[in-house]
Structures are given as structure tokens and as C-alpha cells.
Amino acid sequence: MSTIFSSKGRKTIAAIALVATTGLSAAACGSSDETSSSAPAASAPAPKPVAAIDSLTGNDTQIALDQGFVDALTTLKLTPGTVGSAKLAEGSLIFPITGGNVSVFKPGSVPNYVVGQVQHEGSGLSLTAGGTKVELTNLNVDPGVSRVYGDVTVNGKTAVTSAYLFTLNGSTLKPLATGSGTATLEGTQVQISPVAAPLLNETFKTDAVKPGLLVGIAKITVNTTPGD
């Protein structure tokens, strides 16, 4: 499962990172019950999160574009651009974080121990070829399923909303870096999803966009001081 996400609020991201990187020891819980087998089994209490951030704000998510992706765009004669408050600087797409939430459970206590969303409303990526312009906006990172969802428009008309656009691979994630009131998680791979690839191929009349195509490496920076 990928852990490309950020947090701010009641718990600092340092606490979240500690839990997210701590391995859960395997423990056998076999025991014999001397009570009658007819007695109903007690239900285990639902796990509680060790960190829960109700409201995420700032700073941003950056994606350093992979050269292979840039070359693929050049081959397809696609010009990348930005939408809304997004920026393209020094080879990286930059999307301001506008909201969301995250809860972190003890690894192994639930199937997906990081759940929530990281929202980037009002910004996005555009791809233009000839008279066709596709915009991928309002990106929403879901760490629980390692996916990024977003809205798609073609020449200003809505094609699909909340589409599964990117797959996240956190196997290359670097250790948490903190300092000056911020925390940064960097290293997660952002890849074209199996849903976005055929959509882009159909729109731009090609078959060159493949699922799993590496778009770039993500870097998420957030405030760790409440009130920032």
C-alpha cells in the first residue's frame, strides 16, 4: 500500500510516520477456552486510530516529472500545462493542498492502516494536442487504496468526474524529513492508471499511453504547527 499523504492538526505528521513505518510483530494468539462452547463469543472492540487528523491544510504536493513521461508527451506531440492554482516549475508539477483528512491505525490491526484523503481542489494538469485539450483537475489522493482520483474535461466539457487517474507505488518512499515547522514525504511513484490510459488514448487517437506509465515522483510537504 502506498503512503503518499500528509497531515496537520491534533497529531503531527511525525507521529503518523512513526506508526506508518513501524513493523507489526507477528504474534500467535492461540489459546484454549475452558468455558462452555455454547456461550457466545465476545466481539473484539473495533480498532481505534492512533492518529486522526480531521482537517488537512497546506502546503503542497509536487510531482517531479519523469523524463520517460516527458519524452512520451513529446512523441505524442502533447503539451503539458497547469490549471487553476497549479504550477509547473523546474520540471515539477505543484498542486496546493486544500483539505482532506487522514486516520492512521496500528499496522496489522485493520486491512488498510492509513485511510482518508488529501484534496487539491481548484488545480490540475492539462494536456493539449492540436485543437484538443484535456484537463485533469481536483485531484484527490486516497492512501487507503493507493489511488488518485480527479475530474476530466475535454475542451471545457466534463467527460467524467472522480475518475481513477493515477496509481501510487510507495515502495520507493524515503524516510520522513522534518524541519522549520514542516514535514515532507518524498519518493512515491505516480503512474498512469488502467482507467486513465484508455481514456487518453481514445481522446488523442493513439495507443501509446500504457497503464503503469511512470508520470513522476511525488513529494508532499505539510505544516506541522497547528494554525499554519
| Parts of the chain with a pLDDT under 50 | 1-37, 228
Say what the pLDDT of residue 41 is: 59
Say what the pLDDT of residue 17 is: 42
pLDDT, tens digit, for every residue of 84-140?
999 999 999 999 999 888 777 777 787 777 788 889 999 999 999 999 999 999 999
Say what the pLDDT of residue 106 is: 79
Say what the pLDDT of residue 173 is: 79
**Domain residue extents for the chain:** 13-20+48-223
What pTM was computed for the model? 0.77
Say what the pLDDT of residue 5 is: 40
Say what the pLDDT of residue 2 is: 43
Output the CA angle 24-11-105, nearest 5 degrees. Answer: 30
Say what the pLDDT of residue 9 is: 42
- In 3D, which of 7, 95, 114 has the Cα closest to residue 57? 7
The DSSP result for the chain, as a single string, is --------SSS-HHHHHHHHHPPPPP--------S-TTSPPPPPPPP--SEEES----EEEEEEE-HHHHHHHHHTT-EEEEEET-EEETTEEEEE--EEEEEE--TTSSSSSEEEEEEEEEEEEEEEETTEEEEEEEEEEETTTTEEEEEEEETTEEEEEEEEEEEEEGGGPPPPEEETTEEEEEEEEEEE-TTHHHHHHHHHT-S---TT-EEEEEEEEEE-STT-
Phi, psi at 141, each rounded to 5°: -85, 125
Say what the pLDDT of residue 39 is: 52
Q: What spatial distance separates the first Cα and last Cα of the chain, rounded to whole Å?
A: 29
Between CA 219 and CA 201 the distance in angstroms is: 27
